[in-house]
Amino acid sequence: MIRKSILLAATALALPAAAHAQSTTQNRGLFGGYFPMGATTAVSGLYIGGGAGANFAERSDLNSRSFAGPGPLVGGNGRINFEAGYVGVGSIGYGLGNGLRFEVEGNFRNNELRDVKGFGLQSGFGRVGGFQRTYGVMGNAFYDFNIPGFPYLTPYIGGGAGYAWTEFRNVRFNSNGTNAAFGSRGTEGNFAYQAIGGVSANILAVPGLAATLEYRYFATLENDFGLRGRTAGGLQSGGIIESTNQNHAVLVGLRYAFNQPRRVQAAAPVAAPAPAPARTYLVFFDWDRADLTDRARQIIADAAQASTRVQTTRIEVSGHADRSGSDAYNQRLSQRRADAVAGELVRQGVQRGNIVIQAFGESRPLVPTADGVREPQNRRVEIVLR
């Protein structure tokens, strides 16, 4: 069982390296606002999180050893079954902006004993009581998936390893046949590991805030606890039992990323928003492209016609790019976009000598973002009639 559990945790740590899918449409966000589907939902920078929920401890397999004394004895293997309990976690982490994030987590679990069986006693055990409590510190790694069509929902997988302390608190049970009483208490520290799968939902009314729902498998290596037995006449015995600790949990929580870019709060046209006032026209591009769409050509034609109706001495054409590539590449890309727009203006009848072409790369974003973020509104050319 332990080997299978370690393989499960190792599988969750094999995080994919696929790039996020891109789209230029928009969708309605959680709690109002619109979310550009071309924009990444990946966490970038420092974040904190917390969650709570139900914890379901698997039965704990017990193996008694070195148990001796004049009092009651137990031998062989037994098991403890637990009631459903609760779990709480808190974490602080850092996102790389490409789907990968890493964090340090503290956690606590509590489950009450339901019954004790085995140890070769046919009469079984009664009057069971006590708790198993586990608290630990984990280092986790996650990968967030960008899902086309659902930009405000982000599934993720992850896994972690660390150290946890398992406590038998006031564990006690009586033999039905002999009326002998057994008890165990103590705390044992050991290696711990976990596998995690979940989904986060961005709350766009509070940029950086997301609600989370997740499943966790958590386990430790076997722990050793002292076990004492006592008869009604006062004879005592004692020894050691080995106990497993494996858990399944469902949690809801909140996560807050401190430097997430503010999302767009108003819907924009599919290819490009309406021309801005003051004789400024915006032409938008798909990611990593410099070719003109039909909508872009219509906007350029409007700018060309407006230049003949007003007193225009100069037409400034400024190319821009988002921050998803290197500085040098984005500089060249913004130049190609500006050249494409200027060429279309000339085709629409504007004199080439009246056009001033500039390329700013990623240095003048319309929407400030972290490095590596693919923001549709930053992939643009501005036409300004002077």
**Mean pLDDT for the stretch of residues 318-344:** 90
* Structural domains of the chain in order of their starting residue, each with its CATH number: 2-257 (2.40.160.20), 280-385 (3.30.1330.60)
- The β-bridge relationship of strands 153-175 and 236-257 is unpaired
- The β-bridge relationship of strands 355-359 and 315-319 is parallel
How far, in Å, CA of 36 to CA of 217, rounded? 34
**Mean pLDDT for the stretch of residues 312-327:** 88
Coil/strand/helix, residue 272: coil
pTM above the 0.85 mark?
no
The number of helices, as runs of H, and strands, as runs of E, in the chain is 3, 16
Please give the DSSP secondary-structure letter assigned to residue 70.
Answer: S
Name which of 151-155, 186-190, 288-292 the model is least confident about.
151-155
Name which of 164-168, 183-187, 317-321 the model is least confident about.
183-187
Adjacent-strand bridge partners of 167: 133, 187
Phi and psi at residue 174, in whole multiples of 5°?
-115, 145
Name which of 229-233, 251-255, 357-361 the model is least confident about.
229-233
Coil/strand/helix, residue 60: strand
- Top pLDDT among 170 and 31 is at 170
Beta carbons of 30 and 204 less than 8 angstroms apart: yes
Name which of 155-164, 264-273, 315-324, 353-362 the model is least confident about.
264-273
Q: What is the reported pLDDT for 269?
A: 55
For 106-129, write each residue's pLDDT tens digit: 999 999 998 888 776 655 677 788
Please state, for a pLDDT cut of 90, what percent of the chain lies above it.
Answer: 38
How far, in Å, CA of 38 to CA of 149, rounded? 10
For 374-383, write each residue's pLDDT tens digit: 889 989 999 8
Coil/strand/helix, residue 333: helix
Give residue 94's identity as a one-letter amino acid code.
Y
- The β-bridge relationship of strands 60-68 and 236-257 is antiparallel
- Top pLDDT among 20 and 171 is at 171
> 205-210 — which CB contacts under 8 Å span 24+ positions?
205/31, 205/32, 205/33, 207/260, 207/261, 207/262, 207/263, 208/47, 208/256, 208/257, 208/258, 208/259, 208/260, 209/254, 209/255, 209/256, 210/154, 210/254, 210/255, 210/256, 210/257
Beta carbons of 74 and 61 less than 8 angstroms apart: no
pLDDT classification of 182: cutoffs 50, 70, 90: confident
Beta carbons of 372 and 95 less than 8 angstroms apart: no
Q: What is the reported pLDDT for 148?
A: 75
Name which of 10-24, 151-165, 189-203, 252-266 the model is least confident about.
10-24
Beta carbons within 10 angstroms of residue 380's beta carbon: 24
Q: What is the reported pLDDT for 36?
A: 46
pLDDT classification of 94: cutoffs 50, 70, 90: very high
For 40-71, write each residue's pLDDT tens digit: 567 889 999 999 999 999 998 888 776 666 65
Task: Please choose, from the candidates 243, 240, 239, 241, the residue with its C-alpha nearest in 3D space to the C-alpha of residue 221.
Answer: 243
